[in-house]
């Protein structure tokens, strides 16, 4: 029996799977449905990475290093940061009745 060391496995990169607007919308809807604010920040980070973090940093007016920090897993960025990133990504968050 061949054993695999977990450290030998490639790191999962969600950004590789976000190839279309439909992929991005579905991903965000699932994250929002879960209701974890830290995961929302991380998901926006994955989407920004898929688009190109440098371009999103420029478009949002947030320094690239600050953007990485704000959109890292388990971070809780300010709402204005979320708004700036969403605008730069061309994403509009909307509310509906539950």
* Res 94 pLDDT > 90: no
* Res 2 pLDDT > 80: no
Query: What's the average model confidence in pLDDT over 2-12?
Result: 81
Confidence of residue 6 (pLDDT cuts 50, 70, 90): confident
Domain around 55: 36-98
Confidence of residue 36 (pLDDT cuts 50, 70, 90): confident
Tell me what pLDDT residue 55 has.
Answer: 95
Domain assignment present for 16: no
Domain assignment present for 80: yes
Domain assignment present for 96: yes
Domain assignment present for 43: yes
Measured on CA atoms in the order 14, 15, 16, 18, is the torsion positive or negative?
positive
Whole-model pTM over 0.75 = yes
User: Among the ranges 1-5, 9-13, 28-32, 73-77, which has the highest mean pLDDT value?
Assistant: 28-32
Domain assignment present for 15: no
| CATH code (residue 46) | 1.10.260.40
- Rounded Cα gap, residues 34 and 81, in angstroms: 20
Tally the domains of the chain. 1
47-80 tens-digit pLDDT: 999 999 999 999 999 999 999 999 998 888 999 9
55 C-beta neighbours (distance < 10 Å), count: 13
Q: CB neighbours of 44 closer than 8 A, spacing ≥ 6? A: 71, 82, 85, 86, 89
């Amino acid at each position: 029996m061949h054993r695999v060391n977990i450290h030998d496995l490639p790191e999962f990169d969600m950004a590789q799977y976000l190839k279309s607007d439909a992929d991005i919308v579905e991903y965000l809807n699932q994250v929002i449905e879960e209701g974890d604010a830290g995961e929302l920040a991380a998901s926006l980070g994955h989407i920004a990475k898929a688009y190109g973090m440098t371009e999103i940093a420029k478009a949002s007016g947030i320094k690239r290093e600050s953007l990485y920090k704000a959109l890292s897993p388990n971070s809780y960025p300010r709402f204005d940061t979320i708004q700036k990133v969403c605008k730069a990504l061309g994403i509009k968050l909307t509310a509906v009745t539950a």
